[in-house]
């Protein structure tokens, strides 16, 4: 019993030592659907008085994306002194979707929008986290409007904003906190926008990848060392938030995720869209089970994966990914079936019609919750620039919001009773089955899992 206590105590001490920003409970609101998120973001843009900074992997040139960008141009026209900036991944903006041509990219659209609004400056910055997209992307999340932080793992397009019936499910929090907003804003201004590697994408004479290769390498190194700067004066007894940011395997964010899991005294819930956990997190979860803790994992069914291709549609190589993730999950459950049988381990698969699941987060002992866009996979762990908000709620001031959110997340899930409920490779479509076996022969499936 003493060794069990010591196991979690040292990790709890790491969390206790974190600087924390005080947060009023009346100024934090959880939204429960992508439609609410879409409406809240537009409303915040329309009511902005000082600044609007949107940071996201991509802003897509579809109905949902147009709605956001049009709102930003309208806001700037109405208030010329309003400080507006959009930050997106440099590489993602200059290609089409996977499997499509790059004849009309998001960057091309940004340029057209700028030309259609002469004299109205809404800059779109491309942030190159590495020299190639496969080696790292801008995966920061957060929309900063005056003293408001709207945090979600969602990107900005039709499916994330639920514009055409279908949706991609995520988490959505609205937090009014001037110190938090300024902390996130200052990081963007002083570590990203001013970097020589970061250039505007809404300019037809935009810089080419080759021209900034040297700057990008130096930028990546600087990002490893840069962090959020703030004074955390909150006590251990009050509702508080710690913003976290990091790049690379040894980043402060990764270390806190590890400490968070290992600090669990009773129960832990983890949500991730893709079951492809880093080795350290798998060890942490197994360690918790061996110590008698309750572990719940909520993951998307393979058909709720954004890379899933229905069998009646033409198959592309990228469509093998959901099957690889399911293989990982089946292997994990097979290894830990005894904990499923005794009720310690609960694994839920999320599926709802043809909608998809993009939800991430960690809840520990009704005291901590991590809000993040981090996928908890090897790519996010090693390659991408990630951030998160760690909420400490010792008095359970957010209990009602937290439980309602988790209830809704579980609504369209099915708990796995046995690993055999998941399909085996022999059950997959012929093209998928052949491709997986071919990849395994040359051992490239492991490389794929680390970069996608």
pLDDT at 332: 96
pLDDT at 8: 79
Whether the CA torsion 161, 163, 169, 172 is positive or negative: it is: positive
List residues bridging with 199 in a β-sheet. Answer: 126
Q: Strand ranges (DSSP E) for 79-160?
A: 83-89, 124-127, 142-145, 148-152
The angle at the Cα of 13, spanning 403 to 246, to the nearest 5 degrees, equals: 75
- C-alpha to C-alpha distance for 199 and 29, rounded to whole angstroms: 34
Nearest CA among 318, 451, 443, 324 for reference residue 381:
451
Whether the CA torsion 357, 358, 362, 368 is positive or negative: it is: negative
| Active-site residue flag, 386 | yes
Task: Name the active-site residue from 296, 386, 393, 405.
Answer: 386
pLDDT at 3: 54
pLDDT at 2: 43
Q: Contact at 8 Å (CB) between 275 and 301?
A: no
Domains and CATH numbers, the chain: 25-225 (3.30.870.10), 240-451 (3.30.870.10)
Task: Name the active-site residue from 133, 147, 170, 202.
Answer: 170
| Active-site residue flag, 215 | no
**Collapsing DSSP states into helix, strand and coil, what is residue 163?**
coil
| Active-site residue flag, 170 | yes
Q: Which two tokens stand for residue 168?
A: 């991609």
pLDDT at 438: 83
Task: Name the active-site residue from 11, 91, 117, 358.
Answer: 358
Mean pLDDT by 10 residues, the chain (452 residues): 64 94 97 97 98 98 97 97 97 77 84 96 96 94 97 97 94 98 97 96 82 94 95 93 96 97 97 95 97 97 93 88 94 96 98 96 97 95 97 97 98 96 92 85 60 54
């Amino acid at each position: 019993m003493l060794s069990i206590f010591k196991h979690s105590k040292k990790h709890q001490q790491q969390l206790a030592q974190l600087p924390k920003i005080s947060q009023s409970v009346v100024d934090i609101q959880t939204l429960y659907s992508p439609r609410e998120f879409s409406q809240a973001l537009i409303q915040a843009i329309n009511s902005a008085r000082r600044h609007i900074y949107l940071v996201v992997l991509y802003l897509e040139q579809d109905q949902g994306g147009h709605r956001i960008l049009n709102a930003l141009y309208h806001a700037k026209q109405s208030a010329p002194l309003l400080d507006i900036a959009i930050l997106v991944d440099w590489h993602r903006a200059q290609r089409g979707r996977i499997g499509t041509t790059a004849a009309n990219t998001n960057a091309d659209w940004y340029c057209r929008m700028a030309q259609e609004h002469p004299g109205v400056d809404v800059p779109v910055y491309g942030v190159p986290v590495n020299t190639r997209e496969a080696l790292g992307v801008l995966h920061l999340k957060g929309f900063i409007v005056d003293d408001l932080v709207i945090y979600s793992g969602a990107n900005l397009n039709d499916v994330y904003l639920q514009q055409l019936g279908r949706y991609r499910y995520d988490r959505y929090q609205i937090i009014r906190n001037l110190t938090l907003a300024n902390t996130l804003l200052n990081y963007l201004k002083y570590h990203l926008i001013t970097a020589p590697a970061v250039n505007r994408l809404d300019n037809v004479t935009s810089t080419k990848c080759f021209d900034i290769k040297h700057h990008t390498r130096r930028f990546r190194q600087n990002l490893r060392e840069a962090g959020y700067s703030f004074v955390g004066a909150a006590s251990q007894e009050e509702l508080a938030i710690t913003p976290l940011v990091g790049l690379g395997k040894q980043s402060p964010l990764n270390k806190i995720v590890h400490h968070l899991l290992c600090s669990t005294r009773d129960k832990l819930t983890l949500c991730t869209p893709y079951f492809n956990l880093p080795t350290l997190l798998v060890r942490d979860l197994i360690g918790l089970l061996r110590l008698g803790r309750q572990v719940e994992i909520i993951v998307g069914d393979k058909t709720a994966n954004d890379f899933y291709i229905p069998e009646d549609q033409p198959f592309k190589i990228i469509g093998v990914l959901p099957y690889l993730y399911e293989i990982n999950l089946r292997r994990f459950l097979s290894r830990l079936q005894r904990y499923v049988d005794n009720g310690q381990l609960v694994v839920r698969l999320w599926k709802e019609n043809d909608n998809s699941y993009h939800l991430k987060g960690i809840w520990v002992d009704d005291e901590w919750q991590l809000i993040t866009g981090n996928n908890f996979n090897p790519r996010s762990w090693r390659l991408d620039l990630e951030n998160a908000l760690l909420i400490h709620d010792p008095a359970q001031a957010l209990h009602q919001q937290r439980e309602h959110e988790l209830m809704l997340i579980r609504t369209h899930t099915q708990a796995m009773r046995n690993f055999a409920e998941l399909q085996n490779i022999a059950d997959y479509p012929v093209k998928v089955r052949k491709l997986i076996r071919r990849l395994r022969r040359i051992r490239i499936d492991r490389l794929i899992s680390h970069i996608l």
